[in-house]
Amino acid sequence: MSTNLAFDSSSIKKGPLLFVMILGAFIAVLNQTIMSVALPELMVDFSIEASTAQWLTTGYMLVNGVLIPITAFLMQRFTTRELFQASMVIFLGGTIVSAVAPNFDVLLAGRLIQAAGAGIIMPLLMNVILTVFPPNKRGAAMGMVGFAIIFAPAIGPTIAGYIIEHFSWRTMFYGMIPLVVIVIAVAFIFLKNVAERSYPKIDIWGVVLSTIGFGTVLYGFSSAGSKGWSSAEVVLPLIAGVVALILFTWRQLVTKSPLLDLRVFKYNMFSLTTVINIAVTMVMYADMMLLPLYLQSARGYTALESGLLMLPGALLMGLMMPVTGKLFDRFGAKWLSIIGMAITILTTIGFVNLTDSTSYTYLVLMSTGRRFGMAMFLMPITTAGLNQLPARLNAHGTAISNTIKQVAGAIGTSLLVTVMANRTKAHLLDMAAAGGSGNLSKEHMLMEASIQGINDAYLVIIGIGIVGLLLSFFIKRADQAEEAEGSQIPLNRKVASKA
C-alpha cells in the first residue's frame, strides 16, 4: 500500500494544483450548507413536512459519512487526476438533477448524487498536501484548506438567504453548474498525479460493515434531535451501528488489506489530536446551528440577516487561516490551540445570557470573536496529528480524520438539539408553575423558554470546549514516523521536547 511519490515534488507547480483542488472542495462544502436556508420554501413548493425536507441535509451527510471511509482504498487504486475528475463529474451530475427536479424525490436523488462526489474531494485534497509538502511546510497549505472548509459554510447561509429572497431555490443549483464546469476544465489542464497506485485488494466485508456502521450511527444521531432518544427509530439504528462498527474494527485489525488501517492510532499525537478534533467539531457547531435558531426562531430575523451576522467572522477566518498555517509551521500546534480554544471559550460565555433584546451588534462581535479563536486551532490540530504518520498511512489518516469529524458533527448537533429542546420544556414548565402566564402570552413564554434553552446548550458547548483546552496542553511537536519495508509497527515515535 505504498504512497511513494511518482515524481520529484520540487518539480511540480504546487500553486495551480492546490488552487484547483481547493476550489473544488470549496464548492462541495458550500453546497452542503446552503440547503438548510431553503427548506421552508421547499416545504411549500413540494407540500412536504419538515421531517421529510430535512432529508436533503441528513441524506447528504449520510452519504458523505458512508463514502469517506472508502476513500483510502480509492486513493490507492486510482490516480489523483482520475479520482478528482470523477468526483467533480459525479457532483456536476447531481447538481443538474437537483436544478431540474420536478418533485422532492428527484431533488433528494440529486442531492445524494452530489454527496457521492463531494465525499471524495476533501480526503483526497488533504492526502495530496501530505504527499507534496514536507511536514515543515504543510501548515500554510492546510491553512488554505481550512479557508475552504470553514469559509464556505460561513458564507453559505448569506448567499442562500439572498437567493431565496430574490429568486427561486433552483437558482442555487443553476449558479453552481458553471462553477463546477470551470473546475473540471481547469483540473484537466493543471491537475497532476502525485502518487503511485498500489492496486490494493478491496475488503468487501470492510465496505459492508463500514457502510452499515457509519450509516446507521449517523442516521441515529441525526434523528435523535427530532424523534427523541427513546424512539425505536433512534435506538435500533444506534445499536446496529455500534455492533457493525465493533465488527468493522475487528475486521480491519486482522485483515491483510484493511479498508481503514486503524494502526494509525498507534501514533500518540494522531490519537490525541483526533480526540481533540471531536471536541472542536462539536464546539464549531454552536455557531452554525444554535445562533441561526436563536436569530430566526426566537428573534424573528430573516435568513439573510442571520447569514449576514456571521459574515464578518467568516471573512476574518478566511484571512486568518493562511496566517495560522504559517504560524503552525514555525511554532507548532500547542500554543495556537491553547490560545484559540481560550478565546473561543471566553467568547462563547457571551452567549449564555441571551435575551429577547440582545443587540445585533453584540452578537456580531461575539460571533466574530468565536471565529477568530477557531481559526487559530482548527487546521493546526489536524495537521499536527497527520504530520506524525508515515507516508504509507497518509490516505488512511485523512480518511479516518474526516470520518470522525463527520460522526462528531452528527453527535454534536443531536446533543445540542436535545439539550435545547429538553431545557426549553423545563423552563416553560417553571414559568407556568410560577404563574408567569398571567402577564405573558403563551407565544412570549415559549420564546423566553426557547432562548433560555439555547443559553443552556451554549453552557454544554463551553464544557466541551474546556475538555479540548485541557487536552491541548498535551500536544507536542512530533517527528514523522519511519517504518521498515512492509512493517506495520512504527520504528520511530520520537517526539521533540519543544512544543
Say which residues have a Cβ less than 8 Å from residue 230's Cβ, sequence separation at least 6.
none
Tell me the sheet residues that pair with 495: 478
Q: What is residue 406's DSSP assignment?
A: H
pLDDT of 6 over the 50 cut: no
Residues 9-50: tens digit of each pLDDT: 555 667 778 888 888 888 888 887 777 667 777 888 888 776
Percent helix, strand, coil in the chain (nearest 5)? Answer: 80, 0, 20
Give dist(CA 280, CA 284) in Å, integer.
6
Domain 1-200 fold is Growth Hormone; Chain: A; (1.20.1250)
Q: Chain-centre distance of CA 66, in angstroms? A: 14
Question: Where are the domains positioned within the chain?
Answer: 1-200, 203-256, 263-499
Same fold? 1-200, 263-499: yes
**Domain 263-499 classified CATH 1.20.58.390?**
no
Segment 397-414 shows an average pLDDT of 82
Segment 131-144 shows an average pLDDT of 79
At position 441, the amino acid (one-letter code) is S
Is the four-CA dihedral 191, 196, 201, 205 of positive or negative sign? Answer: negative
Q: Rounded to 5 degrees, what angle do the CA atoms 24, 409, 375 make?
A: 65
pLDDT of 400 over the 70 cut: yes
Segment 104-109 shows an average pLDDT of 91
Say which residues have a Cβ less than 8 Å from residue 238's Cβ, sequence separation at least 6.
216, 217, 220, 221
Q: Rounded to 5 degrees, what angle do the CA atoms 330, 387, 371 make?
A: 65
Residues 318-354: tens digit of each pLDDT: 788 888 888 988 888 899 999 999 999 999 999 999 8
* Range among 15-19, 387-391, 468-472 rated most confident: 468-472
Q: Which pTM was predicted?
A: 0.78
**CB-CB neighbours of 434 under 10 Å:** 9
Question: What pLDDT is recorded for position 271?
Answer: 93
Q: Chain-centre distance of CA 131, in angstroms? A: 22
Confidence of residue 486 (pLDDT cuts 50, 70, 90): very low
